[in-house]
Amino acid sequence: MDAHRPSAPPLALCLGGLDPSGGAGLLRDVLTLSELGCQPMAVSLAETLQNGLACLRIEPPAMDPVQRVEALAPHLVGRWGVKLSFCALGATDFRRLCATLRHLAPPLRIWDPILAPSAGVGLHDGGDLRRMAADLLPMGGWVVSPNRDEAAAFAGLPPEAIRSAPVEALATPWLEAGAWAVWLKGGHAAGDQVQDVWINQEGIQPLETVPRLPGERRGTGCLLSATWLGLRLQGRDDLQAALESARRLRARWDLAFSPGGAGRAMFTPFPALQETP
């Protein structure tokens, strides 16, 4: 090998929904992972009619995503990982996808279990997430990164319990379903402080407590989970990657913008983002 040739970047396979505006979904994943020095590859699991104002329609992809993933298999070796998020596949096709992922055995795995876009039409409920988990999580090794709403829906908790439910009630159902770890994101909790929590079979690890930032941003869940995967591929451990992902999100919060002045603010591309100590 040429000694002056740079080593190949780690590869991140993104499986999720296509938000044409780039505020969330696969385009946000690709932007985020590219910033972190990873080579992204992407396969759509849901097509949306969507902009910065709302999601109006969600459909399964026209081309078989399992065949697309299988076509990428020669590239999926060495240092790589997968991020799974928004999915409009039927039960049979999702089981096929899980079988393919089980065969490919990605070294790093994170599932961002999205119920619906942040505005507009929805897609899933807690029962849907439980059915997906039953096919996906038994293969082992998955970090699941729900917000409190998604975790409460998965646990079957009533809406009035979402903001105040204890961490154990929100995380334990995921672990019982086979998750290796649960990264419970704290943005949807009540109060002026935000705290993520990392939970696995060894116990509960609260992460940093920080003041809640003003306003809302599109694609926060996508940005956090894609950043985690990118940082893990660059050598951070699980908790370091979770902490740094949250810090990076906060560092770019005030740089958000609304393209054309329309709709909710999204995160700006930030290729010059410096490494966090």
For residue range 9-58, what is the model confidence (pLDDT) as tens digits?
999 999 999 999 999 999 999 999 999 999 999 999 999 999 888 889 99
Whether the CB-CB separation of 148 and 189 falls below 8 Å is answered with yes
The tokens 């929100």 sit on which residue?
170
Q: Which residues contact 41 (CB under 8 A, 6 or more apart)?
A: 11, 12, 13, 14, 72, 75
Radius of gyration of the chain (CA): 18
Average pLDDT, the chain: 91
Domains assigned to the chain: 11-261 (3.40.1190.20)
Residue 197, strand partner residues: 184, 206
**CA 11 to centroid of chain Cα atoms:** 16
Does the pLDDT of residue 273 top 60, yes or no?
A: no
Whether the CB-CB separation of 186 and 245 falls below 8 Å is answered with no
Condensed to tens digits (0 to 9), the pLDDT of residues 220-245 reads 999 999 999 999 999 999 999 999 99
